[in-house]
Amino acid sequence: MEGLVNLVHEIAVAMGWLLPTACYAAAVSCLIFSLVGIYQYYHPTIQALQDKPWLPYLSLVLCGVFASFNVILTKSTASAGTDVQVTLGDAATSYSTADSLITGTGPKDAILAIVKDFALFFQMFGAWTCFFAVLTWFAIQRGRSNRERLGCGIQYVFGVMLLNPVKDATWILSFWP
């Protein structure tokens, strides 16, 4: 099990280093889209965004969202009732595995030990889920995706839930008799 934990931990560290790059790339692309859209809107000969004049300004707001994505995720986790501080590009490089899956009083303790071992991967997966939820929501606003807006909201909520996997696993296991 230790080899699997090591592999998943390294994947999570790689995800932690790639997420800021993706956030800043999305912020720059939103800024460029916003500047081009504002120019096209105020230029009388170009009719590109006449049906959605608010879209460049929304893109400008999303530029700020992507540039400060760690603050947005931290505030989202605070709204969920946790005290997780999200930092981008500062993934943990060390971890502690559970001593043994046999220690404890039953299967609940074994499941919590496994969740603690894979917590960094769950956290990074949750952050990526939130990133893609916001990105897809913007694609819906632009008319590039046929998904529902509510689905992006649900995806974002589940991504925030994954940012604190131990608390969520403890809550789910509380229903187990």
Could you tell me if residue 81 is left (phi over 0), alpha (psi between -120 and 50 degrees) or otherwise beta?
left
Residue 48 pLDDT: 65
Q: What is the pLDDT of residues 48-78, one digit of tens each?
A: 666 778 888 999 999 999 999 988 888 888 8
pLDDT (0 to 100) of residue 136: 94
pLDDT of residue 64: 94
The string of DSSP codes covering 60-74 is: HHHHHHHHTHHHHHH
pLDDT the model gives residue 95: 43
Give every residue of the chain whose pLDDT is below 70, as ranges.
Answer: 1, 44, 46-50, 88-104
Q: Which residues contact 137 (CB under 8 A, 6 or more apart)?
A: 149, 152, 153
pLDDT of residue 133: 95
pLDDT at 58: 92
Q: What pLDDT shows up at residue 46?
A: 67
What's the pTM value of the predicted model, to 2 decimals?
A: 0.83
Q: In this predicted structure, what is the pLDDT of residue 156?
A: 93
Largest CA distance in the chain: 73
Structural domains of the chain, count: 1
**Cβ atoms of residues 106 and 27 within 8 Å:** no
Question: Which residues constitute the domain of residue 168?
Answer: 2-173
Give the helix ranges, DSSP H, for 47-164. Answer: 55-67, 69-79, 107-117, 119-142, 149-162
List pLDDT tens digits, range 88-98: 665 544 444 55
